[in-house]
Amino acid sequence: MKLTRIAADDDDHDRRPQRRRYEEPLIVRVRKQLLAIAESPLKPIEEDINTIAKIICDNLEDQDLQTGFVDLVVQLVVEQPFKTPFVAAVVLNVNTLKAEIVDKVLEKAVERTNAMVQRGEWREVKLLLKFLGALQGVLEGDGVWSVLQDLFTKALDLQTESSEEVRSIRLWNCGCSC
C-alpha cells in the first residue's frame, strides 16, 4: 500500500525542471509574419496586413523593430516579388497609423534603387520601381509615374533605333535597293 501512496505523491508533484517560456523578439515575429504573408489560403490576408501594421505602430520606440522592418520590406520586394502588393499594403496600412516609419521605408527603397541603377542591376530596379509604384498614394506629385514614363519613352526610342538598324543591315546584306 505504501508503494501506491508514493506513486500518487509523485503524480501530484512533478519534479522535472520547468521549461522556461521564451517569447521571441518582436522583429522575429514580424519577420515570420511578413515572410508568410499571403501563403495560407485559410487565413485572410487582411488579417495579416492589419496584425503586422499594428505590431509595428504599437512598438514605435523599438529601434531594432523599425530598422529590421524597413530592411526586410526592401529585401522582400526584391527576393519575393510576388509578395510586393501585400508588402505594399502593410506599408500603406502603417502609413495610416504612423507615417514616419513609411518615410524610412521610402528612403531605403530609393537609396537601394539608386545603387542598383548605378550597378546596372535592372531586374532589381524594376522590382523596386514596382514597389514604389504600389506606394504611389503616399508619394508627392507624380511620384514614380514620371520616372516610369521617362523609362518607357527611352525604351521605345531604343526599340525604334534597333529595329531601324536591323532593317538597314538586312537591306545592306541583300545588296538590293528595295
On whether residue 121 sits in a domain, the answer given is yes
Nearby residues of 171 by Cβ (< 8 Å), 6 or more positions away: 178
On whether residue 17 sits in a domain, the answer given is no
Q: Exposed, middle or buried: residue 81 (CB in 10 Å: 0-12, 13-18, 19+)?
A: middle
Claim to verify: residue 150 and residue 105 sit in the same structural domain: no
Beta carbons of 52 and 33 less than 8 angstroms apart: yes
pLDDT the model gives residue 174: 55
On whether residue 16 sits in a domain, the answer given is no
Claim to verify: residue 128 and residue 169 sit in the same structural domain: no
Q: What is the CATH number of the domain that holds 134?
A: 1.25.40.180
On whether residue 7 sits in a domain, the answer given is no
Claim to verify: residue 159 and residue 172 sit in the same structural domain: yes
All three cell numbers of 72, joined, read 526586410
Nearby residues of 88 by Cβ (< 8 Å), 6 or more positions away: 131, 134, 135
Claim to verify: residue 155 and residue 83 sit in the same structural domain: no
The CA-CA-CA angle for residues 61, 64, 66, to 5°, reads 65
Claim to verify: residue 110 and residue 169 sit in the same structural domain: no
Note the pTM of the prediction, 2 decimals: 0.74
Query: In this predicted model, what pLDDT tens digit does every residue of 59-116 receive, in sequence order?
Result: 989 999 999 999 999 999 999 999 999 999 999 999 999 889 999 999 999 999 999 9
Per the structure, the complete domain to which residue 134 belongs is given by: 24-139
Predicted confidence band of residue 14 (pLDDT cuts 50, 70, 90): low
Predicted confidence band of residue 167 (pLDDT cuts 50, 70, 90): low
CA–CA distance, 9 with 126 (Å, rounded to integer): 68
Q: How far is CA 72 from CA 35, 97, 165, in A?
A: 9, 19, 44
pLDDT the model gives residue 157: 80
Claim to verify: residue 103 and residue 157 sit in the same structural domain: no
Claim to verify: residue 75 and residue 130 sit in the same structural domain: yes
Nearby residues of 45 by Cβ (< 8 Å), 6 or more positions away: 37, 38, 86, 89
Claim to verify: residue 131 and residue 111 sit in the same structural domain: yes
Residue 178 has pLDDT above 80, yes or no: no
Task: Please give the tally of structural domains in the chain.
Answer: 2
5 vs 16, which has greater pLDDT?
Answer: 16
On whether residue 120 sits in a domain, the answer given is yes
